[in-house]
Amino acid sequence: MTTPAAVPIPPELTRRYGVSSEGRAWLAALPRLIGRCMEQWQLVPDLAPGGLPWHGHGAIVVPVRQRASDRGEPDPAPGAGTAVLKLAFPHEEALAERHALELWGGRGAVQALAAEPDAGALLLERLDGGRSLQDLPLDAAAGVWGGLVRQLSLPPDSRPQWREFGQVAARAEQWSDELPESWERLGRPFPRWLLEAALEVCQTRGAVGRRSGTDVLVHTDLHFLNVLACPDAPAGPGPAGFTAAGFTAADFKAIDPQPMVGEAEFAVAPLLWNRLAELPCTDPRKALLARCLDFSAAAGLDGETARQWALAREVENALCYATERNHGGDLARSLWVASTLAGNTLAGLPAPQDLPAPGEP
């Protein structure tokens, strides 16, 4: 069996999950889980000497390759010549990921090659971790993103995987109850009118007002870094090795879906709270609204519905950040985006170009 020491744990994951008993237990179990999956699928790490695995906020991602099969061993996982082994910290979104990837079947999203649910492990096709939609200009990124959303927006059918996903409309109804309570408990961290704007969205787009006939499978975390280039995407001397040539959705695939079922416009929000530094200094508010409309149009979505969902999602984000220490920059970012989408940018906030990107200190 592959020795645990063969795969180092990225220090950032250790820092993030070492602060809770659940996180420490997961970190302690990772070497054993990695070794178990390596043995089960006949894999070896494909890391440069001294290199670290990739990681996201809640998972370790180990580049792997198929090892030479010994006599009597089980067959390796299909397609595992070069792949990545992903082990996620146990949480609701991670549990549903494999079901969404099964439904998409590699069309618009990374292909799942095998799964070990008990270990929280997925064996996935290997995309180009060094090239993402973050590296493309926004006007080019819009066309790629829109094409992917069109592929990913599957209408529900009779396959059993659909039973594993939460409903966007039900989440909105839940927010209708929870957001006012959180706002009061946290000492009213922003003006009441902004809370009311989010609640109006929840009431309009919740179970009563939603257009259930248009519900689809939604990748709810489809930001720029969660769209990676395919290995055969054109390469050249440009940013991150991209050429100046135009790209299409066929050159990229989505990862880390956090899937739900509901209106496809729910997916637009992460585009609006990322890459704020690229907004122009003159009238950034108008530019943010234009970005919402441009990306919505590229995907064939309704820009106004996308604006509403993004407003509600950012108010919910703001209340989450208000509960945590050392998240003042994240709170300010969410309040700037939410209030701007509501048409009345709050005074006293930093300029959007000075706000931290998600995940930055």
**Which CATH number, 2.60.120, 3.40.50, 3.30.200, 1.10.357, labels domain 4-126?**
3.30.200
Give pLDDT, residue 3.
41
Q: So what's the pLDDT on residue 283?
A: 96
Q: What percent of the chain has pLDDT over 90?
A: 78
Task: State how far the Cα of 333 lies from the Cα of 317, in Å rounded to an integer.
Answer: 10
301 in Cβ contact with 265 (< 8 Å): yes
**pLDDT over 70 (residue 76):** no
Q: Is the per-residue pLDDT at 207 higher than 50?
A: yes
Q: State yes or no: pLDDT of 340 exceeds 90.
A: yes
Residue with tokens 């108010």: 315
The per-residue pLDDT for 242 is 75
| Domain locations along the chain | 4-126, 137-227+253-354
Q: Pull the structure tokens for residue 116.
A: 């070990």
Query: What pLDDT sits at residue 172?
Result: 95
Q: Quick one: pLDDT at residue 325?
A: 77
What mean pLDDT is reported for the chain? 91
Weakest-pLDDT range from 53-62, 143-152, 330-339: 53-62
The residue-averaged pLDDT of 176-184 equals 97
Question: Averaged over 13-27, what is the pLDDT?
Answer: 93
pLDDT interval class at 169 (50, 70, 90): very high
Asked whether residue 210 carries a pLDDT value surpassing 80, the answer given is no
What does the pLDDT read at residue 58?
A: 87
Using a 10 angstrom Cβ sphere, with 0-12 exposed, 13-18 middle and 19 or more buried, the burial of residue 266 is: buried
The H helix count followed by the E strand count for the chain is 10, 12
Q: Helix H segments across 215-327?
A: 269-272, 284-298, 303-322
pLDDT at 259 over 80: yes
**What tokens were used for 99?**
């079901």
Confidence of residue 1 (pLDDT cuts 50, 70, 90): very low
Q: Report, as an integer, the average pLDDT of 88-108.
A: 91
Closest CA to 315 of 206, 210, 182: 182
- The end-to-end CA distance of the chain, in Å, is 39
- What average pLDDT does this structure show over 300-313? 98
Band of pLDDT at residue 4, cut at 50, 70 and 90: very low
Res 208: pLDDT: 56
| Mean pLDDT comparison of 50-54, 72-76, 241-245, highest-scoring range | 50-54
Name the pTM for this structure.
Answer: 0.92
The first and second tokens of residue 10, run together, are 């990225």
pLDDT at residue 68 is higher than 60: yes
CATH of 137-227+253-354, one of 1.20.58.1690, 3.90.1200.10, 3.40.50.300, 3.40.50.2300: 3.90.1200.10
Angle, vertex CA 353, rays to CA 348 and CA 357, nearest 5: 100
CB 314 within 8 A of CB 172: no
Specify the pLDDT at position 73. 57
